[in-house]
Structure 1
């Protein structure tokens, strides 16, 4: 199956982490057709880093930025995905280093009417400074400073037992997710009524499931390593949770405040 792919990653004012993520993308066994950085209003340091990488990146590297007006991750992701040329979107976060076969693993598992979600291993606080200092982007089961390290076991032949499921998994995370762009547009993308941290990926996938797009877990492959950071403010979580519950109760497929307004730009 010859499918064009776009790797999308949101970022905000953490160029140290973004550098390691971009280095890990450069080492992929199979590159996406383009990479888009969805920048939620970072300062010039992030722009300078991206421009440096653009000089010798092995696939087109694009920077979609908007002004910093508070946490608007849903908005910048919609803007970035609207500009994506790929038929298929692979989504990570700007603080998640990817396994060298990450993109290949997602591409090899693509099916129609299905989204994929993989595993996230956490990098502990006490090793973060060393990782930045040494620009470490490769990890194994035995690497120091990992939390939930069994999630990092890479055993592709065991992954075959996982089949698509009509129910959304609690293990789903937006930092390791992929889907057809047309399926994303069919539900109007991220709901921009959600503000701040929490439930944005959940609410999106709920609408996809209501639209008969089901999920498959990439267990034992499709691995990312999340760099520790202080927990973001969760002030908007209660309101976001209410919106997600309404989406479940009303079996919503469409959100009114989504990607459609950017598609003709």
Structure 2
């Protein structure tokens, strides 16, 4: 199979120091993405300035860097992801959060693992507060499996041969996290992207996964590859979680595969892929 073109979609909100590390780690990939899209959920001007400052470096590497922004009207992650997906041109989307620093083999291992008719849930290595602070202060994107300050460090081991031996979860919705996920863009279009009925933190990733499954796609787990290092931060406000969970359960019960309010509002008329 010919290697797909890749769109690295990085979501962010008002943490340019962390975003800088993530973008620098994207440039340090052994196999660079075809393009990088920053899905910005209404950050201040310092995030836009950071992205603008890095555009020439990405251009020199032959990788377009695109800043996709909308005004800050609360947590609207689904909407900004859809806006970025509408701008994406790659066959395969690698989706991470703007506080997840990429292992140098992140893109290559995801591409090697990609298969038609499937989407992928990756893992994250949790970096503690002290180690995160040191990385941010030094602008350091290099993390090793045996560094101090890492939790679940076994996820930091890059062992491609073992990746293919990891069985799927008995519950295909277990452990869903949008901070490290990969899918074919055409499949995301088919399910109409992310559901913009979800406003506020919580369950938007699980609902997207449930609709991908309802569309007949298989979910695969990528372990020992596709590695990201998740920087420490305070937990987000969870006031919307109960309501979002109820919405999630209601949609799952219907077996719907397509979001009622989703990606199609941003696609040019007549464009289906």
| Shorter-normalised TM range | over 0.9
1:174 matches 2:178: yes
Q: Secondary structure at the match of 2:57?
A: coil
What is the CA distance between 1:120 and its match in structure 2? 0.3
Q: In structure 2, what is the equivalent of residue 94 of structure 1? A: 98
Structure 2 counterpart of 1:204, from 208, 215, 218: 208
CA contact (8 A) 1:167 1:209 kept: no
Q: Secondary structure at the match of 1:216?
A: strand
1:61-210 alignment runs, 5 A limit: 61-162=65-166, 167-210=171-214
The CA RMSD measured in Å over matched residues stands at: 1.4
Structure 2: state its 5+ residue gaps: none
Q: Tell me how far apart the structure 2 counterparts of residues 253 and 166 of structure 1 sit (CA, whole Å).
A: 21
Q: In structure 2, what is the equivalent of residue 44 of structure 1? A: 45
Taking a change above 3 Å as real, the CA distance of residues 180 and 166 of structure 1, as seen in their structure-2 partners, is farther
- Describe the superposition over 1:140-175 as per-residue Cα deviations: whole angstroms up to 9, x where unpaired: 121011111111122111112135679524223111
1:60 matches 2:61: no
- Describe the superposition over 1:23-74 as per-residue Cα deviations: whole angstroms up to 9, x where unpaired: 1111101011100000111111111110111011121100001111111111
CA contact (8 A) 1:155 1:221 kept: yes
- Describe the superposition over 1:122-144 as per-residue Cα deviations: whole angstroms up to 9, x where unpaired: 11112222111111211112101
- Describe the superposition over 1:91-130 as per-residue Cα deviations: whole angstroms up to 9, x where unpaired: 0000000100000011111111100111100111122221
Structure 1: state its 5+ residue gaps: none
Q: Tell me how far apart the structure 2 counterparts of residues 114 and 46 of structure 1 sit (CA, whole Å).
A: 33
Q: In structure 2, what is the equivalent of residue 8 of structure 1? A: 9
Q: Tell me how far apart the structure 1 counterparts of residues 231 and 133 of structure 2 sit (CA, whole Å).
A: 10
Q: In structure 1, what is the equivalent of residue 32 of structure 2? A: 31
CA contact (8 A) 2:163 2:225 kept: yes
Q: Tell me how far apart the structure 1 counterparts of residues 104 and 130 of structure 2 sit (CA, whole Å).
A: 24
Taking a change above 3 Å as real, the CA distance of residues 219 and 70 of structure 1, as seen in their structure-2 partners, is same
1:254 matches 2:258: yes
TM-score, length-scaled by structure 2? 0.94
Structure 2 counterpart of 1:230, from 228, 234, 244: 234
Number of aligned pairs? 265
